[in-house]
A and B are shown apart, each in its own frame.
Chain A
Amino acid sequence: MKTIFEKSVAGREGCWPCEGMSEEAYIPSELLRDSDSGLPSASELDVVRHFTKLSQRNYGVDGNFYPLGSCTMKYNPKFTEIAAAMPGFTQLHPVLPQLQGAGGLCQGALEVMYETERMLAEITGMDAYTMHPMAGAHGELTGVMLMAAYHRDHGNKKTKIIIPDSAHGTNPASATIAGYEIVSIESVDGIIDTAALAEVLDDDVAGMMMTCPNTLGLFEKNLPEIVKMLRKVDALLYYDGANLNAIMGKMRVGDVGFDIVHWNLHKTLATPHGGGGPGSGPVGVSEKLIPYLPISRVAKLEDGQFYLDYDHPKSIGYVAPFYGNFGVFLKAYAYMLRLGGKGLTRASENAVLSANYMRKRLENHFEIPYNRICMHEFVASAALQIPKGVHALDIAKALLDKGYHAPTIYFPLIVPEAIMIEPTETENKETLDTFIDDLIAISEMANTNPEALHAAPVTLPVSRLDETKAARAMELTSDL
């Protein structure tokens, strides 16, 4: 398909609504540029067809199954879009709650933020939340900054953060940006090894970042002991909420002893993401960390009025413009209200059921390195297909030919040739079965016709991309 620039023909343009209209009618002539903008010239129909065709090539969960492990690409019910599109919210100016006397004009929006915080706190067992972080990794950074603020305030000299090798990939980056040294510990049998933790745990440790279930989709059964060990050196425990989809209504991380948690609202509470919309990474804390939360914070007066409270002298300050991605809060809020506690619990139960169903049906066809009851996702490996020269990458590409988005591959790093599958709770059994059958057919093809898998994909607009060349000879700009 040609780019819109290649389709450009000099002099071709759309039509103005009235005879004789032009740019000058809208823009003062002294502000018009002297040189050509370099933008393409095309007719209205050319433009409409070009972008319609591009949109048809887009792949999304509304079109087909998207089992991208670790990303929770579940279906987002459309009623949440209705909530986010209500003019009472979309037409609101974000500076309104900060203007003297204008608080009465935005009570609904403030109440949504207040109530969303309260519901997230209820589900996770935390004492307070900030809604400000714009996405998961931003939540992580905010969380680690809260950790640092706590230790500074207590006169603790802490320089290190422990991160198990089964943690989420962004954790080391977030902790490094916050200024900490990373200490990695190796998992044993897919989960955190308390002996390995004991070896590196000392007074310099500010905290530990982990996720549960971890990136192998396994539950960390040594959690109570881990919490005890960290408490002894006044180290805080951070919960990466990327995998909260597996435990809603089953485990409240605050009750278990976590001090800080972030959500990925765009994963767990069904709002679009992955190029489909902005994220949101609210951070929840236990009581001892409340003074350090970012400002502003939504507070409620005795008469029921909501307002923005800036009076928190120990706060880490601002982490985002205004209040975070408000449109995403609305969707998450509507989703939580619609599902209720029972509905959210069922969502987690079904997510775990789907993953275990797929794991069981695939276990005779693919190696599954930690083959036991998993949570909402599991990690298979292409190890059985390697002797035929077929790698995880070939299997992923063959799935594209079958019309799927490929699962996550080569992550987590602790499983060679990893294929990480997360079916989510929103897929029906027929979809799961068809996908499993297609994967089994691909594994059989690895035996009978491995060459065909090396050639995949053959049905897409582009064939196998040269990823090495793309990374080595990067060209990220175009000369206009």
Chain B
Amino acid sequence: MIPKDLLYAKSHEWCMVEGEIATVGITQFAQEQLGDLTFIELPEVGDTFEAGSEMGSVESVKAASEIYAPVTGEVVEVNTELEDAPENVNEEPYGSGWMLKFKIKGAPEGLLNAEGYTAVIDSESH
């Protein structure tokens, strides 16, 4: 259920690092908790973020929630399809529901592997 090849933030974002590019989205657990997404607000190409800072927000029928940058770097690509198809995040959070690509500055820090993230989910669901 939780892909082994990704890194995770405690705030429920995932991150796939390939060279200096990190692809970022929110996890299966996050989309389940939020329910059907209705609106996603993402930053623009060229914006820069510190790891852990707020980079956008998602809205569902239940709630609105912030999303945080899992890495420090500059946004180089935004998944604009999500504007019209927020359901992609519900259906394929690790696939067509990806949100941003970052050009990373420095090595990612403080992220969890699949095992560590499983422990976070377990503690939150009990």
Contacts and interface: CB of A to CB of B under 8 A. Distances in A.
Interface of A: 410-411, 413, 416, 467-468, 471-472
A161 B81 CA distance: 35
B61 A467 contact: yes
B80 interface: no
A472 B88 CA distance: 13
Contacts of B59: 471
B33 A410 contact: no
A472 B63 contact: no
B104 to A, nearest CB: 25
Interface in B68-126: 86-87
B62 to A, nearest CB: 4
Report the interface size class on chain B: 10 to 19
A471 B61 contact: yes
Given A468-B36, A468-B38, A471-B39, A413 B61 contact: no
Nearest to A386: B125
A292 B87 CA distance: 48
A415 to B, nearest CB: 12
Nearest to A391: B35
Contacts of B87: 472
Interface string B41-77: 0000000000000000001011101000000000000
A471 B59 CA distance: 10
Nearest to A412: B63
A276 B18 CA distance: 57
A370 to B, nearest CB: 16
A472 B62 contact: no
15 contacts: A410-B62, A410-B63, A413-B63, A413-B65, A416-B33, A467-B36, A467-B61, A468-B36, A468-B38, A468-B61, A471-B38, A471-B39, A471-B59, A471-B61, A472-B86
A411 B59 CA distance: 14
Contacts of B39: 471
A472 B86 CA distance: 8
A411 B62 CA distance: 8
A472 B35 CA distance: 13
A472 B62 CA distance: 13
A83 B65 CA distance: 44
B38 to A, nearest CB: 4
A294 B63 CA distance: 34
Contacts of B62: 410
Contacts of A471: 36, 38-39, 59, 61
A42 to B, nearest CB: 36
